[in-house]
Amino acid sequence: MRKGYDGLFGLVRDRLELEPLSGHLFLFCNAARTRLKVLVWDGTGLWLCAKRLERGCYSWPEAEAEEVRVCLSHEELALLLGGIDLKKTRRKNWYRKEMEVATQE
């Protein structure tokens, strides 16, 4: 995973078809799933954060058929970063306001 600010910015804009300057967190992993990068715009500049695991790998969530992106809640993001397999967890049925993902038109 060699991409930096500009490469990840381009992936978000061109492949995911989202606005990189929206303030959303964009999470990327390498093929071995041992490294993560987070790209986020804070209003004044881009943040690029990285984490490398010394052992094990992340349990990366699967996208739906023909989708190139997965939308996670902040709870799911925390579980993923904490090493929890999201496939083995389930969400309780309680009220949750759905957030819309802004898309470019």
> Could you write out the three-class secondary structure of the chain?
CCCCHHHHHHHHHHHCCECHHHCCCEEEECCCCCEEEEEEECCCCEEEEEEECCCCCCCCCCCCCCCCCCCCCHHHHHHHHCCCCHHHCCCCCCCCCCCCCCECC
Q: Is residue 70 part of a domain?
A: yes
Q: Residue 49: which domain range? A: 5-88
What's the pLDDT at 7? 96
What's the pLDDT at 59? 87
Q: Is residue 103 part of a domain?
A: no
What's the pLDDT at 82? 84
Q: Is residue 104 part of a domain?
A: no
What's the pLDDT at 102? 58
What's the pLDDT at 64? 81
Q: Is residue 12 part of a domain?
A: yes
Q: Is residue 102 part of a domain?
A: no
User: Which residue is it, tokens 């209003």?
Assistant: 43
Domain count, the chain: 1
* Mean pLDDT for back-to-back runs of 10 residues, the chain (105 residues): 91 95 94 94 95 89 84 87 81 70 56
